[in-house]
Amino acid sequence: MASYLLNTNAQEAEMLKAIGIEKKDLFNSIPSKLKLKRPIDLPQGLTEMEVLAKMSALAQLNKVYSIILRGAGSEHHFIPSVVKQLSSREEFVSAYTPYQAEFSQGILQSIFEYQSDICELTGMDGANASVYDGATAAAEAIQMVLERTRKEILIADSVSPEVIETIMTYTSCSEASITILKTKGGILHEDVLKKHLSENTAALMIANPNYYGCLEKVDELSRFTHEAGAKLIVYANPLTLAYLKSPRACGADIAVGEAQALGLSMAFGGPYLGYMATTNELIRRLPGRIVGQTLDTEGKRAFVLTLQAREQHIRREKATSSLCSNQALCALTASVYVAAMGPVGLKEVAEHGLRRAHYFQKELEKIGFKLKYEVPFFNEFVTTSPLAAKAVERHLSKYDILSGLSIASHEILWCVTETTSKAQLDEVISYLKEVTQ
Amino acid sequence: MSKLIFERSVKNRRGITLPEFDCPEVVLDYETTRASSPRLAQVAEVDVVRHYMELSRFAFGVDNGFYPLGSCTMKYNPKLNETTASLEGFNSIHPTQDPSTVKGAMSLLSNLGASLCEITGMDGFTLQPSAGAHGEFTGLLLIHAYHSDRKDLKRTKVIVPDSAHGTNPASANMAGYSIINVPSNPLGGVDVEALKAVLNDEVAALMLTNPNTLGLFDPNIEEIAALVHKAGGLLYYDGANLNAIMGEVRPGDMGFDVVHLNLHKTFSTPHGGGGPGSGPVGVKKHLMPYLPKGTIIDEHFVENTKTIGRVRSYYGNFLVNVRAYTYILSLGSNGLKEASEMAVLNANYMMSQLKDQFTVAYPGPCMHEFVLSLQDLKDKTGISAKDICKGLLDYKVHPPTMYFPLIVHEALMIEPTETESKETMDEFIKILIDLKEKASTDPDYLKNAPYTTPIKRVDDVLAARHPVLKYEM
């Protein structure tokens, strides 16, 4: 059994003597009637060797695919060695929130650099230190745009269902009312938007690229949204922003999204990294931890947790969010990834996905998987399937390939990244031919 | 201090190289692409390594030294947990894989939930919430769903003691509730008479931390639970302090209907400089129909028609949950109980050695932490709790939590945890007493501390008044 305790029996006796108490009396303030009068019904502790064997056996029950053609909110990317090596430094791993600035400049600076990366990719003026994931980032963004007379939020149905569901939960007890706008042919059209915009609209939320991989006409949607006096929230994968025009340049007031693609493994859904960034106009409404630059008493540059007047430990029930942590280690990991890749590397990762997705789509088309939405897409796209989507999944699984996500009985959402080469895509096509011809 | 990564940038320098493009170029249909590359740092791999190595030297974790940050349970993070969390079978699985292909993950999460049920005396857990505050919000939505389902719609208020974490009232507000604060009694527990006065059919729940933020177990908990239940309300348990009571007493047996735990506290998963954590929520049977979508129990996704919905994507911070499960397997039934015993013994020992030198805010045996008030010292010497904390930095120990709970003036909240030795605590006690003497003999010295850190005290006001939140590229 592992215990991680240090004090010996002799030390324990010394301590009890110093306190003037017997060990059995340590918990006397708990009424005896309430006490658990039996051991916790769990197995006895195991040694490190035994635990590792048990955990390895569990890990081996999970199927790890060699080719992954699925995204839909969690993408498989190459993670350079330097990312894992640096992000597992114990000074970063075993520290807590940098409350003592003088003692935590390393953590604070890493977050400041992360915020700077996010601002540069999104074009925004300020970012927070991150939140739990993309879905919660989107849900927190809703709170930022509510105004006394504007409580209605319009969300395109091309935003990820996980994100929309999270927003519905977050707003279930709030004043915000959510309207889901129907897309046509994969994207939101201006006539649908115009029909719903009113003086009560607080914001429009769209994803770009959206859940189906399609590129929305952000500039146009932005113009109509702003003409109605509402804000635009864009949900974007930051990796694609090394290639695509930034949300700010398209007119967004708030950019949020899931940054898992920046160096975090898929890990069955978490931990991930929700980013939030906005313009100077809304910066004091950003929730969560924020790191700012300041000076120390000798005039040296220093970093510190700032704008705390918004936060729960000061405002308690008047705070609009109860966030009191961030995904600091994930933010650091993303920053290391961005630094290691650099602007050129990031763009190349994005472009590999873009090129290979388009190549794969054309090859799929030839064997009967028809592109569902005839609009520009990035590295994800939806096709119809000549046989049941689940049958495709089972067939490819035999070859150690994770197929795209089945989103309807005969529809598949594919995702291609830099991890799958053209030769491998050709291989996938040859396996698919076995069942389509 | 360090250069920023952007200040190390040299035009056209590169880190990682990628394979050549092997598919034809794609020209996107309309004006959607960037006019120019993002102005991110252009550095080599060596630059990146040296940069982050330098930053790591300006950070301090449990592995660097004593970290008695009250209420945060900064216990040692076993290295085995890191090894299991980096197994490929846990890292390289997609969250939407068919359940038949992720049986190990489903089994692990089910067993973790079941273990937490046994430790806390609850009937079901969701592992989806990603932090304590996230768990609170989830728990309050569950409470809201329960009352709404019973058509008990008058309940719009949540009671919170004045000693509570700030996240409690903030989370309740997010769930649409208005807050009633109740004062503490002179012993630091809930003032039962004050509670009676505010309990009525408009109260949805009472949120309680027990042991509370003063490190005291509220001996009236049974009466409090009975009163709240009699008024038709539910009892919410903030599990921030569970490290004091494992194997001794269970929130479920105290009468709580909903609990959240902080796996990054009690179950030894690393704090990561502020996250990722994990804040699972446990409920009694009557609240199970409302558990979030994405909850896994008995190796199946729970399908609740009355669910509150999901509170984030997928199933929570999986790799954090892997670490916590590793820890539970390692310690087992006895080990968890011993951990709590040693945590309480260590705290009482520290308190016994400091009580003659400082004012203990609420004297009497404590649980896993205790709170000092430095108001006397401040009155006599002008030296504040903050000054003492800054003085501690020069001794390479992390200061305790300061200025919390709010009901104690000049508070220092000390939580040694079970993974510290008597020698380490003795050293810390000696430093604290030395600093107290310094407060009388040389207050200016402390007012200007720290001296050995890479920067001196920071200008918080400047940071807030003129926010600079990014590097100007």
Q: What is the pLDDT of residues B201-251, one digit of tens each?
A: 999 999 999 999 999 999 999 999 999 999 999 999 999 999 999 999 999
Instruction: Give residue B337's pLDDT band: very low, low, confident or very high (50, 70, 90).
Output: very high
Contact yes or no for B53 and A89 at CB 8 A: yes
A vs B, Cβ pairs < 8 A, gives 691
3-state helix, strand, coil in chain A (%, to 5): 45, 15, 40
Is the pLDDT confidence value at B45 over 80? yes
Whether pLDDT at B30 is above 70: no
**Res B437 pLDDT > 90:** yes
Q: Where are the beta strands (DSSP E) in B196-273?
A: 203-208, 234-239, 258-261
Give the chain B residue nearest A215 (alpha carbons).
Answer: B32
Segment A23-41 shows an average pLDDT of 96
Q: Would the pLDDT of A277 be above 70?
A: yes
Interface test with A, best of B81, B83, B86, B312 (most A CBs within 10 A): B312
A425 pLDDT exceeds 80? yes
Mean pLDDT, chain A, as a whole number?
Answer: 96
Question: Which has the closest alpha carbon to B232: B147, B175, B151?
Answer: B147
Query: Cα separations (Å) of A210 from A183, A218, A239, A390, B272?
Result: 11, 11, 14, 23, 31
Could you report the per-residue pLDDT of A347-397, keeping only the tens digit for each?
A: 999 999 999 999 999 999 999 999 999 999 999 999 999 999 999 999 999
Q: Which numeric CATH code is attached to B80-327?
A: 3.40.640.10
Chain B residues in contact with A300 (beta carbon < 8 A):
1, 455-456
* CA–CA gap between residue A284 and residue A262 (Å, rounded): 27
Can you tell me whether residue B164 is helix, strand or coil?
coil
How long is chain A? 437
Residues of B numbered 336-355 whose beta carbons fall under 8 angstroms of chain A's beta carbons: which are they?
336-339, 341-342, 344-346, 348-349, 352-353
| Model pLDDT, residue A168 | 98
Q: How far apart are CA B154 and CA B87, in angstroms?
A: 50
User: Residues B310, B311, B313, B314: is their CA dihedral positive or negative?
Assistant: negative
Candidates B448, B465, B467; CA nearest to B390 is B448
Q: Which of B210, B214, B335 minimizes the C-alpha distance to B268?
A: B335
Using CB atoms, which residue from A36, A217, A271 is nearest to B253? A36
Q: What is the pLDDT of residue A256?
A: 98
Q: CB-based contact (8 Å) between A204 and chain B? A: no
Nearest chain B Cα distance for residue A195, angstroms: 25
- d(CA B123, CA B116) in angstroms, rounded, equals 9
Interface of A with B in 26-65 (CB under 8 A): 26-31, 33-36, 39-46, 48, 51-52, 54-65
Q: Give per-residue pLDDT as tens, B448-470.
A: 999 999 999 999 999 999 999 99
Residue-wise over A166-182: b if at least 16 C-beta within 10 A, else e?
bbbbbbbbbebebeebe
Are B319 and A174 a contacting pair, CB within 8 Å? Answer: no
A25 to chain B, closest Cα gap in Å:
10
* 3-state SS assignment for residue A205: strand
Contact A26 B344 (CB under 8 A): yes
Find where tokens 């994990």 sit: B278
Q: Which class in CATH covers the domain with range A67-78+349-436?
A: alpha beta
Residue-wise pLDDT for A171-183, tens only, equals: 999 999 999 999 9
Q: Are B419 and B66 in contact (CB under 8 A)?
A: no
**Greatest extent of chain A over all pairs of C-alpha atoms, in Å:** 84
Give the ipTM of the model, two decimals please.
0.98
Mean per-residue pLDDT over chain B, rounded: 96
Phi-psi sector, B164: left (phi>0), alpha (psi -120 to 50), beta: beta
Q: Are A103 and B393 in contact (CB under 8 A)?
A: yes
What count of other Cβ atoms lies within 10 Å of the Cβ of residue B188? 25
Distance of CA B22 to the CA centre of its chain: 47
* Domain A81-335 = CATH 3.40.640.10: yes
The mean per-residue pLDDT over the stretch A16-44 comes to 96
Q: Which of B33, B75, B96 sits opposite A405 (nearest CB)?
A: B96
Is pLDDT above 80 for A110? yes
pLDDT tens track for B345-358? 999 999 999 999 99
Contact flag B398-A103 (C-beta cutoff 8 Å): yes
Which of B332, B325, B337, B295 lies closest to B312 in space, CA to CA?
A: B295
Tens-place pLDDT, residues B123-166 = 999 999 999 999 999 999 999 999 999 999 999 999 999 988 88
Query: What are residue B282's DSSP bridge partners?
Result: B125, B259
The model's pLDDT over A149-171, given as tens digits with 9 standing for 90+, comes to 999 999 999 999 999 999 999 99
Kindly list the domain boundaries of chain B, sorted by start residue. 1-58, 80-327
3-class SS of residue A257: strand
Q: What is the pLDDT of residue B429?
A: 98
Which part of chain A has CATH 3.90.1150.10? 67-78+349-436
Q: How many whole angstroms separate alpha carbon B165 and alpha carbon B238?
A: 9
Q: Is the pLDDT of residue B280 over 90?
A: yes
Q: Would you call B292 an interface residue with chain A, using a CB distance cutoff of 8 Å?
A: yes
pTM for this prediction: 0.98
Burial class (CB in 10 A: 0-12, 13-18, 19+), B403: middle
Ranges in chain A annotated CATH 3.40.640.10: 81-335
**Distance from B192 to chain A by nearest Cα, in Å?**
17
